[in-house]
Structure 1
Amino acid sequence: MDPQTEFGSPRPVIGLALEVIGREGSVAVIEGGKVVQTLELPSDVRATASLTPALQTLLQAIHPGEKRPEAVSTGSGFRAPATRPDYIAVADGPGSFTGLRIAAATAKTLAYAWGIPVVTLDSLSVLAAAVLPANSSEKDSTPAEWPAPGQRLLVGLDAYRGQTFVGWFREQDSGWVSEGPVELLDRAHWLETVESAAPGIWATGDAMKNGLPADHLKPVVQQQTLASAVARLANQKYLAGQTTDPMDVLPKYFRPSAAEEKAAANQSGSAK
């Protein structure tokens, strides 16, 4: 059923998107399929302290004339707007252990308090979508901004500790389509992947650092905030009914933490 205004007429679907994939994060609002507002979290403040205020600022900017109701019982003092989002979208991994945990917990708490579903996206799909301009389509983008049909994209996300999260995508009518699951590669295999990639392949992500054997590839940079990419992808999933119960939202780390790896190594060593 379409969302309704107070006068009973249909209103555009509203989604609230957030991500803390890396050291910084961003938030966005999408309304009627168009990203209408986005904010990047301040780089000098931890996401733990900045994420909820940024979400509140964003919603107040979108609907400044609405009366603020009683605060929902989230423990954070977050106040919902009179026109609540229809869903919350979040990038659930891979990425920063702390950032993913904060983002997932915030999305879960607000969605549960508001009685709305969550839409989850994997981080590499978000990074792929962010290389295109926000609210773009093939017909209103220049050839330099939009990939040709069949174009491939290599996404590399720095996993630190000498590792890289890697994803391959191909352009189809519906946008970037993943060619397989996320891979976690050590440095040697990451260098081999970059060097052996076919000439002309697009490449993006913070793992595409200077000094890589990548002169034959086409580097593409982020054209929009990651939260706006989350919002656009999530809107498609929401309209297709692909949502998640808030209580089932968990960050996907794709590997043990450094502390867990150290504990496992110690246990293995003591067993010898």
Structure 2
Amino acid sequence: MHSKTESDDQRPFTGLALEVIGREGSVAFIRDGEVVQSTDLPSEVRATASLTPALESLLASVNTAASDAETSRDESPLPTQTSRPDFIAVADGPGSFTGLRIAAATAKTLAYAWGIPVVTLDSLSVWAAAVLPTGSTEAANSDSDMPRVGQQMIVGLDAYRGQTFVGIFVATEARWQSDKEIELLDRADWLRTLGSASSGTWLTGDAIKPGLPTENLRVVDRKQTLASALAKLAHQKYLAGQTTDPMNVLPRYFRPSAAEEKAASSK
């Protein structure tokens, strides 16, 4: 497994980020804390079929930009030395059962093959970070795009079956800080959470649907791909040594699948 050495200080650290939190997903490549390229997976193709081609295209593009050397058209871009990252980042849940499984398996396989660590982050923290502009430290961003310190935000991810994954965050000077354990709420509790939130609370996530009591809340959209947000969060964790051995990477579902629940109820 690769570990940081003195020679590493002479070059920028790079990372590959991938997520399939929902029905779609995204990938990104980060170098020295800055996302150099990111793309969403095509919505018309299932992630099972589109994730690997998206990663290959991303790494081929990064490799081409970083090196003047020509790569053979028949050679896979995945194992090249130039594009091989220092770490792989993956959102490990909650989210789509199939999506999380595919993302975790892909991250584990590539990291093991390359001999590099994995950085994992929960899906709601990634969503929270994605509402900030890509260059969130640049003066060009509107003040309204940036939360004040102490600002609260609710992130809701659609868990289907009438349920919602919910996270509560508070803005610090540097980032969104989780203020509560992730909860799986039924519709009544989800509505109660929204209805009792303080006026001006930010609200984001794919569970924000028409008809919800959001009149006193500020609904905010993502300003970057989820993979971009994931990459930047993971870069900080990597520098802090907060990594995971590839063989220990597992998706966190937060509840049984529909098939598991059905099997359990029939016993």
Please give the TM-score of this superposition, normalised by the length of structure 1.
0.91
| Deviation at residue 46 of structure 1 after TM alignment | 1.2
**Which consecutive segments of 4 or more residues in structure 1 shift more than 3 A?**
1-5, 65-69
Could you tell me which residue of structure 2 aligns to residue 48 of structure 1? Answer: 48
Asked if the contact 1:26–1:39 (Cα under 8 Å) also holds between the matched residues in 2, the reply is yes
Give 1:1-272 correspondences, 5 Å limit.
1=4, 10-64=10-64, 65-66=68-69, 79-83=78-82, 84-137=84-137, 139-267=139-267
Alignment CA distance shift 1:253-1:3 (3 Å): farther
Tell me the number of residue pairs that the alignment of Structure 1 and Structure 2 aligns. 259
1:50-78: CA deviation from partner (whole Å, max 9, x where unpaired): 11111111111112145659x99xxxx77
Structure 1: runs of 5+ lacking an equivalent: 268-272
1:227-246: CA deviation from partner (whole Å, max 9, x where unpaired): 00100100010001000000
Structure 2: runs of 5+ lacking an equivalent: none
1:132-159: CA deviation from partner (whole Å, max 9, x where unpaired): 1113227553211110010000000000
Asked if the contact 1:68–1:81 (Cα under 8 Å) also holds between the matched residues in 2, the reply is no
| Deviation at residue 181 of structure 1 after TM alignment | 1.1
Aligned partners of 1:33, 1:22: CA distance in 2, in Å?
25
Asked if the contact 1:68–1:80 (Cα under 8 Å) also holds between the matched residues in 2, the reply is no
Aligned partners of 2:70, 2:101: CA distance in 1, in Å?
31
1:12-59: CA deviation from partner (whole Å, max 9, x where unpaired): 100000000000000000001100000111111111111111111111
Please give the TM-score of this superposition, normalised by the length of structure 2.
0.92
Alignment CA distance shift 1:40-1:165 (3 Å): same
Asked if the contact 1:68–1:82 (Cα under 8 Å) also holds between the matched residues in 2, the reply is no
Could you tell me which residue of structure 2 aligns to residue 270 of structure 1? Answer: none
Alignment CA distance shift 1:78-1:97 (3 Å): farther
Residue type of the partner of 1:217?
L
Give the fraction of aligned pairs with identical amino acids, expressed as a percent. Answer: 64
Alpha-carbon RMSD across the aligned residues, in angstroms, is 1.9
